[in-house]
Amino acid sequence: MNHHLQFFRFFRNVSASQQRTVCFEKTARRTADFNISARRRAGYGKAGRRAFSLREAAGRVALVLALLPLTACHESDQAIARRVFQLAGQQFALLDAATDSVSAPRFYHSEKGYRTSDIGWWCSGFFPGSLWLTYEYTGQEAFLEMAGRNTRKLDGLCDRHTDHDIGFQTWCSYGNAWRITGDSCWLENIQKGAGKLAARYSPVTGTTRSWDFSRGWQWPVIIDNMMNLELLMQAQRLFAQADGDFQSQAGNGSQSQAGNDIPGETAYSYREVAINHARTTLAHHFRPDGSCFHLVDYDSHDGHVRRRQTVQGLSDSSSWARGQAWALYGFTMMYRESGEEAFLEQACQTARFLLDRLPADGIPYWDFDAPAAGEHSGDHPEVLRDASAGAIMASAFAELGGLTADRRLGRACRRMAQKQVRTLASPQYLALPGENGGFLLRHCVGNLPEHSEIDVALSYADYYFLEAILRLQPVN
């Protein structure tokens, strides 16, 4: 018994790669010793001894591999944070060096290599955001400089035609800059971004429009849009905007950014836009089991629902994993910002759906209704895990666990967040220094139906992974 206690105590203080080495070295020695003594006792013949040795060796290796996840569970939330943020410092320095003054990291594929994007790409704010989180944790001036420089790349963004993702782009970069430094120099672009997003609001549909391109849609709204509402809620607070101070471009009879002529002449505050959008989404995006559709298309003239579908998932009736993650995170955040109980109830319902259907290690398949491994045929996409959806869920679970009054659900949410972070921090998903193009996480899925960004590293996966880790740390 003492020997086993020493063995597991030792495991808590070494890395996962060291654990593997130790496991196999100890297993090899013990297997050899066991087989020698067993052969002496049993008096097996040569063939029998060989078969016995192979069976026992295989059994012992399998036992050690089974114990590895158990030993990893002994690593504390604080130890995971230290390990991951140390790696982030190394990896992000590589990403920064590989990115020029007008582009942002987009993805890395093991065969296609590293790809960047223009600042107009919806993910352009996530790398600056990851740098701000790294600076927040480490306090190292090098990351302050790096974060500021990469955020400033987005300075001209609000002068362009943008869509709903201006919320992601602005709040993850400028929002974190202001939150962490308190420097008012970042506020101008936060206010500009909020104005651009609110200008996409329609009082007829009660929502901000998502995409401007059309596949037969009139007013498409995707569940992702919930994430962008944080920019509006924070802007209301930052700029002390009174109700009625903001005039929606889509609400005064003029042409909105989306090019639709919307009747009506009413002014709306940032807060009103955000809450109305969340209420409408709650009413029309969700199924009875707590899962959600990806997209709802509204009639731009009378606001009725024209169609519900799942553009980036397996089918219109399926539960696309990242869409469920956006829903969990978005309604948790909107309850935190507004205090509206209906938002908390929806977050809890979605959480229960996820807790019932997530795999044992916590990382979802790219779609919850994707055919099980071994059952897919040429008619079905390959069943892949999506680390980005797991990271977003982990951050949301960590926050929801502290907001809900349902103690059992709260504990389940926190345990799931910890499980997901530990799985993502394992060698299966976490890159080694100098690998993975400078990103942290591997095995993400962007848009499988469009054959885009499949089994890659993605900037938003890293961002929400770091945020989840920070949310699991003890509050000072």
Query: Using CA atoms, how far apart are residues 235 and 375, in angstroms rounded to an integer?
Result: 48
Residue 306 backbone phi and psi in degrees, to 5:
-90, -35
455: annotated active-site residue: no
- Quick check: 175 and 190 in contact, CB under 8 A? yes
Query: Using CA atoms, how far apart are residues 223 and 285, in angstroms rounded to an integer?
Result: 7
DSSP state of 249: T
Out of 96, 224, 386, 455, pick the active-site residue: 224
CA 287, 291, 403, 273: dihedral to nearest 10 degrees?
-70
Token pair belonging to 235: 């802007």
Q: Which of 240-249's residues contact partners 24+ apart within 8 Å by CB, and which partners?
A: 241/269, 241/270, 241/271, 242/269, 243/268, 243/269, 243/271, 243/272, 244/268, 244/269, 245/269, 246/195, 246/198, 246/270, 246/273, 248/198, 248/199, 248/201, 248/202, 248/203, 248/273, 249/199, 249/200
Query: Strand, coil or helix: what is 261?
Result: strand
Query: Using CA atoms, how far apart are residues 219 and 161, in angstroms rounded to an integer?
Result: 17
Closest CA to 353 of 280, 261, 290: 290
Widest CA span in the chain: 95
155: annotated active-site residue: no
Residue 190 backbone phi and psi in degrees, to 5:
-65, -45
Out of 77, 96, 159, 165, pick the active-site residue: 165
Q: What is the number of other CB atoms lying within 10 angstroms of the CB of residue 118?
A: 11
The total number of residues shown for the chain amounts to 476
Alpha helices in 12-155 (DSSP H): 16-42, 46-72, 77-98, 126-138, 141-152
Query: Strand, coil or helix: what is 48?
Result: helix
Q: What is the number of other CB atoms lying within 10 angstroms of the CB of residue 407?
A: 9
Q: What is the number of other CB atoms lying within 10 angstroms of the CB of residue 292?
A: 29
Contacts of 159 (CB under 8 A, 6+ apart): none
- Quick check: 251 and 177 in contact, CB under 8 A? no
Catalytic machinery residues: 165, 224
